[in-house]
């Protein structure tokens, strides 16, 4: 950086809304010369270009699903082949978006990177998400519909069946990532869900390894486990459930010993830390701290399990980024998931940093 660049950058730091003419008057250069210097600072990523916003933030970048979620609650036993009475509700969701909102509510600086339709559904998602994350870099595609997910829930709040319209995420291509590498370069951590195409996940693994950026991968369903690469050396955390483990290895785990064996097979692909959840059963961790199992406390007043996995993941990531020990990391994850399923919300509305710590201590 030359002396004129340093001088202009310092003036922008003092007043991010300073005009080019004011800069010109202060440094003794023509306004076009100042404009060229600012353009150079943008290209070098010292400023973001809009109102000379200094590029000093290191956000968590969440990549993947941002959906409209529709939930249908069955009021009686499900009867196939006929109409069933239900109550319904619509909310916003998507794994990457849900994790982003959880982390944003906890107080982290978060940026959502995804594709959407240019429609009312996306505008609704944007309006409700923007208080907790930066959505300025979402690419809206007029020929696509915003992603949607429909869940059929039984009387106990457990999912009976789910339907996903997610073709818009096929547009999260490596080329889309390349256009946004300046965002990845400044990130504290990249979080990607497997709504992204396999080639995009492979690109993120390669890029994160090259640039030494922290990387977390989150599964979204058994059928999409074929998007998980077989080289996971760049992955700091991989979060799965039992069904997703079985889908990836192509075998059902009849016993706990078989499940642990399959987890070991996935860990051998190079991932540093692997966590597997099984609903009400034990949480299995295999990673830098060795292999551990953690009990799950029974929750009596379950309202809705939708979003539990995303809440768990968010608590885990928060604890990890704070460099907590594995026991505390898992406790944060369990606390957030437990409190989330006791509400009707995919992301609980009372979540903040103090509340999360309080909930963890009450476990």
Sequence-ordered list of residues with C-beta below 8 angstroms from that of 70, at least 6 positions apart, any chain: 88, 89, 90, 148, 149, 150, 151
Sign of the alpha-carbon torsion through 23, 27, 30, 36: negative
Place of tokens 């240019």: 118
Closest by CA to 306, choosing from 363, 344, 252, is: 344
* Every domain of the chain and the residues it spans: 3-43, 60-361
Q: Give 60-361's CATH code, choosing from 3.40.50.261, 3.60.110.10, 3.40.1190.20, 3.40.50.800.
A: 3.40.1190.20
Q: How many of the other CB atoms lie within 10 Å of CB of 304?
A: 23
Report how far residue 222's alpha carbon sits from residue 240's, in angstroms, rounded to the nearest whole number. 9
pLDDT per position in the chain (363 positions), as tens?
788 998 998 898 888 778 888 899 999 998 878 888 988 888 787 777 655 554 557 899 999 999 998 989 999 998 999 999 999 989 999 999 999 999 999 999 999 999 999 999 999 999 999 999 999 899 999 999 999 989 899 988 888 888 889 999 999 999 999 999 989 998 999 999 999 999 999 999 999 999 999 999 999 999 999 999 999 999 999 999 999 999 999 999 999 999 999 999 999 999 999 999 988 889 999 998 899 999 998 898 999 888 999 999 999 999 999 999 999 999 999 999 999 999 989 999 999 999 999 999 998
Q: Give 3-43's CATH code, choosing from 1.10.3470, 1.10.10, 3.40.50, 3.30.410.
A: 1.10.10
CA distances from 80 to 77, 152, 158, 233 (A): 10, 13, 17, 46
**By the 8 A CB rule, do 132 and 350 touch?**
no
């Amino acid at each position: 950086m030359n002396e004129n660049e340093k001088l202009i950058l310092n003036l922008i730091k003092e007043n991010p809304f300073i005009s080019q003419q004011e800069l010109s008057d202060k440094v003794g250069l023509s306004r076009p010369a100042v404009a060229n210097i600012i353009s150079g600072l943008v290209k070098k990523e010292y400023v973001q270009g809009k109102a000379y916003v200094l590029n000093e933030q290191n956000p968590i970048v969440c990549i993947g699903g941002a959906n409209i979620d529709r939930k249908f609650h069955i009021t009686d036993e499900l009867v196939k082949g006929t109409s069933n009475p239900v109550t319904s509700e619509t909310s916003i969701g998507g794994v990457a978006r849900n994790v982003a909102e959880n982390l944003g509510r906890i107080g982290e600086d978060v940026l959502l990177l995804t594709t959407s339709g240019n429609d009312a559904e996306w505008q609704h998602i944007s309006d409700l998400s923007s208080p907790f994350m930066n959505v300025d870099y979402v690419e809206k595609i007029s020929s696509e519909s915003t992603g949607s997910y429909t869940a059929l829930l039984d009387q106990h709040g457990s999912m009976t069946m789910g339907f996903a319209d997610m073709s818009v995420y096929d547009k999260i291509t490596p080329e889309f990532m390349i256009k946004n590498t300046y965002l990845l370069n400044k990130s504290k951590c990249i979080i990607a869900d497997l709504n992204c195409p396999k080639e995009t996940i492979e690109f993120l693994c390669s890029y994160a390894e090259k640039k030494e950026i922290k990387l977390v991968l989150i599964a979204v369903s058994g059928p999409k486990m074929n998007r998980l690469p077989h080289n996971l050396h760049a992955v700091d955390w991989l979060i799965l459930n039992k069904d997703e483990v079985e889908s990836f290895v192509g075998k059902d785990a009849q016993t706990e010993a078989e499940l642990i064996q399959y987890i070991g097979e996935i860990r051998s692909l190079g991932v540093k830390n692997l966590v597997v959840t099984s609903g009400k059963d034990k949480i299995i961790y295999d990673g830098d701290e060795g292999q551990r199992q953690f009990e799950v406390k029974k929750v009596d007043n379950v309202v809705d399990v939708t979003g539990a996995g995303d809440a768990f993941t968010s608590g885990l990531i928060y604890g990890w980024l704070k460099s907590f020990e594995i026991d505390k990391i898992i406790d944060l994850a369990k606390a957030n998931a437990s409190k989330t399923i006791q509400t009707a919300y995919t992301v609980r509305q009372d979540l903040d940093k103090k509340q999360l710590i309080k909930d963890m201590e009450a476990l």
